[in-house]
Amino acid sequence: MNSPEQRTSRPVALISGGSRGIGRAVALRLAEDGHDISFCFRGDEQAAANLEKELTASGARVLARRVDVTDAAAVRDWADATEKELGPVAVAVTSAGITRDKPLLMMSDDDWHDVVDTNLDGAYHVCRAVVFPMMKRRSGAIVTVSSVSGLYGNAGQTNYAASKAGVIALTRSLAKEVGRRGIRVNAVAPGLIDTDMSAVLDDQVKQQVTARTALGRTGLAAEVAEAVSFLASARASYVTGAVLPVDGGL
């Protein structure tokens, strides 16, 4: 644990689901922007260790912790540990997410609840853990990771689309609640992004989505991270309650 004397003037970014995919790209981009990084992961300890090593080599102080974002107490403990070890959280990014894709008629109750609990409740738990300290300091930025599925719906993803639509509603409502306290809350809505999550999709499905995408390709996690970097920064100082699609014109 770092003592107060060891703390630097670098702002702190807290990122859920940071070890892989979009969360990993966001962690690297925000470290490049000059943030110290606290990220959580649920399962892939090796990926987390690799990211921690890469972030540390870039000059960032890092706190990596295994956290199930469906567990409110665990998320609060992680946020508290971040403030104690690294300093006040200036930016929070809710990137943890899962899919359990299938038609509603074939969907089990567990398929529904696992996705909603992780994607929507997890975002709520992170926001709830960081927003009060931000309000006391009258500053902060929260960026949630939604999806174009949450904007338009998608066959075979009723659970995922519902959870991501909920994230958008949470984002817009929270922005109205805390804006006068100097806190901005925005969302990104990625389209088909080249990550581990999309790797399990059938090639034909990917081709169909790409064919409907104006730019004619899948996106990169780093391209989503650029949008998060913007929304988290002073460059977006008059942007709150916004949902920024990063979907190549899907």
238 counts as catalytic = no
49, two tokens: 């260790």
Quote the CA–CA distance of 17 and 46 in Å, as a whole number.
14
HEC states along 77-129?
A: HHHHHHHHHCCCEEEEEECCCCCCCCCHHHCCHHHHHHHHHHHHHHHHHHHHH
Residue 238 neighbours by CB under 8 Å, 6+ apart: none
Q: For residue 93, which of 233, 242, 228 has the smallest C-alpha distance?
A: 228
- Please give the helix or strand (H or E) that residue 63 lies within, else none: strand 62-66
Residue 225 neighbours by CB under 8 Å, 6+ apart: 22, 25, 26, 28, 29, 30
At which residue do the structure tokens 């988290």 appear? 232
The sign of the CA dihedral 143, 131, 165, 200 is positive
Catalytic residue among 124, 152, 160, 238: 160
Q: Write out the catalytic residue numbers.
A: 160
